[in-house]
Amino acid sequence: MPTEMRESEQQPAEPLDQLLEYGRGNGYQLDWLRKRETWGNELHPDMEHGGLRLQDAEVGPFGEVPDVSDNETGRPRGALRREDAPRVGSYRVKSKSEIWMRNAAALYEEALTRQWSSATDVPWETLKPLPDDIERAECELATFLSDVEFVAGDVPGRWISDTSPDFFEPRMFLVSQIMDEARHLDVFRKRALANGGGLMQQSRAFAGGFGSSIDNARDFTEMSVRLHISGEGLILSVFRMGERMAYNDAEKEIYRLCGSDESRHVAFGVMHLRYLAEAEPERKEEIHCLLDEVEAGLAIGEGTSSQNLLTRVGSTGSSLAVLLGAGNIEEGEKLAQAMRQRQIKEYIQRVKVSGFGERFENGRSGPVLMKYVAG
Look at residues 306, 309, 289 and name the one whose alpha carbon lies nearest to residue 356. 289
Contacts of residue 216, Cβ cutoff 8 Å, sequence gap at least 6: none
The CA radius of gyration of the chain, in Å to the nearest whole number, is 27
129-374: CATH topology is Ferritin (1.20.1260)
Residue pair 45/56 in contact by the 8 Å Cβ criterion = yes
Q: What is the pLDDT of residue 25?
A: 83
Instruction: State the greatest distance between any 2 C-alpha atoms of the chain, in Å, as a whole number.
Output: 110
Place 312 in a pLDDT band, splitting at 50, 70 and 90.
Answer: very low
**Can you tell me the distance from the alpha carbon of 198 to that of 40, in angstroms, rounded to the nearest whole number?**
59
Which of the two residues, 6 and 237, has the higher pLDDT score? Answer: 237
Residue pair 322/245 in contact (Cβ under 8 Å)? The answer is: no
- Give per-residue pLDDT as tens, 322-346: 999 998 888 888 888 888 889 999 9
204 — pLDDT class (breaks 50, 70, 90): low
